[in-house]
Amino acid sequence: MKLPSWFSQDYKSLLYRAFPFLVWGKELDRRTLHYDFLAGITGAIIVLPQGVAYALIAGLPAQYGIYTAIVTPIIAGLFGSSRHLVSGPTAAISIIVMKMTSDLAAVGTDEFISLALTLTFLCGLIQFCLGIARLGHVINFISHTVVIGFTAGAAILIAASQLKYFFGVPIEQGASVTNTVSTLIDSAANFNYYAIAIALVTMGSVLVISYLRPRWPAMLMGMVIGSILCAVLGGEKNGISLVGALPGTLPEISAPNLTFDTVSAVFQSAFAVAILGLVEAVSISRSVAVNSGQRISGSREFVGQGLSNIVGSFFSCYAGSGSFTRTGANYHAGAQTPMAAIFAAAILALILVVAPWSTAYLPMPAMAGSIMLIAWKLIDFHHIKTILKSNREEVIILLATFGSTVFVELEFAIFIGVILSLVVFLRRTSMPKIVVVSPQSLESGTELRSIKRYGLKECPQLRIVRIDGSIFFGSVNHIQGKLQQFCNRNTPQKHLMLHCTGINLIDIAGVEMLLNEQRRLKNLGGSLTFCALTNIVKDDVAKIGGLEKLGAKNFYSSVDVALKILVPTLEKPICDDCQVRVFNQCPLPPSISNQLRFMDLEPQPVTVKEPADTPSS
């Protein structure tokens, strides 16, 4: 039986939302798969040493990092939003998992591993629930400036973490940037020049190949060249560390421990890891999307990250998130779809099973050189220059986020940026721009412009003010102060008209403030009127009784209509003595009017037809 067309369409829409891989899956062709496969090879090579290193940071056996690098990116790629994000083990999450779990069990013990897997399951469950509840919009409070600052700071951390391999000197794992640089300076006499040569040759090879043959897998070829040079120089005999062989078994399926005691013990930690993981994943997705032009769905990314951690906890994976290094490598290697991350995971699994020895001769200096190039490309110099030239608030957010990423705990960096963004957002919404405007010329009619910017003259009796923002409880004090500054006992203008095209909300507090101002101006012998308020806002004001309180007759559909009615009500003696004809509706000066009468001409009054009421939008 054939389904009705409307049912079929709804079913497809639901199916695409539940399984986003069906959308980009239709775009797969030979060319796309070719680029994704090459990017997958590069990603697999990069994640090999990282998986081992991050597992050790988390206090887990090395294979757990590899398992996380296999399972997590597959699930996150299939159900996530970003086409370039590569999930898996990360440094920040690894450190937090170790710190929080080590408070409950000795590092490396079976109990410790069990707690880490339970934490991973709960972390994924929290992320999944947040995604299903469509709370991805909360990430909108992370501004573009925060993402750029965080990305640049993370790039510095990534580069700093590779300095020990680049120069071949021992540096404490997880040392801060300042300690790393200090140790490096103290160890200058002990630099391993074989390591430096391998790293520089690898970097040079990648840059040259990228320039001469942009479509070739430059990073992979650079690593191969670095490996060959290491063998020629006898690197291992000269203190060059290698990635080494991997264990040759795939993860076994096992359920995490979900007893009440275990869940209650790690739930709070799981929530913290979940939030940090989401912030990392969405921030990285947005950072790459700036260059790729893709639109990221926060809620969809929440679901993808949640499912990857839930499923991963059954395959000996610990909590993962988006990786700056691997995502940057994936994008710059030419990845087109999430198939690149899936290819990388599949290749990694194949290497693990078939050739666990294949990375035994890959030198760490070659990896360090490649990762430093990735870190360099993660820094968005163009947008950083633009931000530095913009307003002071954006510069503060950028520098604070960057500085906290580099010098403070990584998990606090985004939160600092978000808090500063919220402060700036609240400041801007509570202090909307309020501009005194006037017609640019008689020929332009009612085309209003800022008198300050364009040096315009204004009517000595009627002042027009444009408010660019909402009139709500958070902004009423600022707006009221400005209105009282513009029209008071000491100003010639006692009549005030609000040009309302920029107002999208007036709440109860706003209505009460406007009512108070209306009474104040009336006591001064003036008035408060409104023009060009949108029908939607006008309807909302009417619902809360504002239209009745402020007087429906004081609301005009346009500037033309308002001036036609208001100008004749102004004091005639002042108008007769006025030498500035600001509005077309203004009467001509007596001298000009008399000349026209002498020539048997009469000034033609400006007639403005009241537009028909339009239905509310």
Give the model confidence (pLDDT) of 552-595 as tens digits: 999 999 999 999 999 999 988 888 888 888 888 887 765 555 55
Reported in sequence order, the residue ranges of 121-189 that DSSP labels E, i.e. its strands, are none
**Interatomic CA distance for residues 293 and 146, integer angstroms:** 18
What is the separation of C-alpha 366 from the centre of its chain, rounded to a whole number of angstroms?
33
- Report the mean per-residue pLDDT for the chain: 85
pLDDT reported for residue 410: 60
Going by C-alpha positions, the residue among 250, 384, 294, 302 that lies closest to residue 125 is 302
Reported in sequence order, the residue ranges of 358-445 that DSSP labels E, i.e. its strands, are 433-439
- Based on its alpha-carbon atoms, the radius of gyration of the chain, rounded to whole angstroms, reads 33
Identify the DSSP state of 242. Answer: B
Task: Give the amino acid at 145.
Answer: T
- Confidence tier at 11 by pLDDT (50, 70, 90): low
- Confidence tier at 219 by pLDDT (50, 70, 90): confident
Tokens of 464: 């027009």
Task: Give the amino acid at 346.
Answer: A
- According to CATH, the topology of domain 431-598 is Transcription Regulator spoIIAA (3.30.750)
- Confidence tier at 611 by pLDDT (50, 70, 90): very low
pLDDT reported for residue 596: 46
Q: Which residues contact 516 (CB under 8 A, 6 or more apart)?
A: 480
What is the separation of C-alpha 538 from the centre of its chain, rounded to a whole number of angstroms?
33
Is 95:60 a contact under the CB 8 Å cutoff? no
Give the model confidence (pLDDT) of 17-48 as tens digits: 778 888 888 888 889 999 999 999 988 888 87
Angle at the Cα of 213 from the Cα atoms of 212 and 218, rounded to 5 degrees: 105
Give the model confidence (pLDDT) of 313-343 as tens digits: 999 999 999 988 789 888 988 889 999 999 9
**Interatomic CA distance for residues 363 and 366, integer angstroms:** 6
Indicate the SS3 state at residue 531.
strand
Q: Which residues contact 93 (CB under 8 A, 6 or more apart)?
A: 58, 273, 276, 277, 280, 319, 320, 321
Percent of the chain with pLDDT over 90: 42
Determine how many CB atoms are found less than 10 A away from the CB of residue 342: 19
Going by C-alpha positions, the residue among 301, 271, 258, 313 that lies closest to residue 83 is 301
pLDDT reported for residue 1: 39
> What residues does 204 pair with on adjacent strands?
none
Task: Give the amino acid at 340.
Answer: A
Tokens of 595: 């000349």
Q: Give, to the nearest 10 degrees, the angle between helix 144-161 and helix 381-388.
A: 130
Q: Which residues contact 273 (CB under 8 A, 6 or more apart)?
A: 93, 96, 97, 100, 119, 123, 319
Is 501:437 a contact under the CB 8 Å cutoff? no
Distances, alpha carbon 209 to alpha carbons 199, 205, 222, 332, 556, in Å: 15, 6, 8, 13, 67
Greater pLDDT, 609 or 486: 486
Going by C-alpha positions, the residue among 18, 93, 82 that lies closest to residue 55 is 93
Going by C-alpha positions, the residue among 291, 318, 285, 331 that lies closest to residue 304 is 285
Indicate the SS3 state at residue 273.
helix
**Interatomic CA distance for residues 204 and 293, integer angstroms:** 29
Indicate the SS3 state at residue 157.
helix
Is 305:277 a contact under the CB 8 Å cutoff? yes
* Entry pTM: 0.71
Domain with CATH 3.30.750.24 in the chain: 431-598
Tokens of 509: 């507090």
**Interatomic CA distance for residues 567 and 381, integer angstroms:** 54
- Confidence tier at 359 by pLDDT (50, 70, 90): low
pLDDT reported for residue 357: 78
Give the model confidence (pLDDT) of 114-171 as tens digits: 999 999 999 999 999 999 988 877 766 767 788 788 778 878 887 888 898 899 998 8
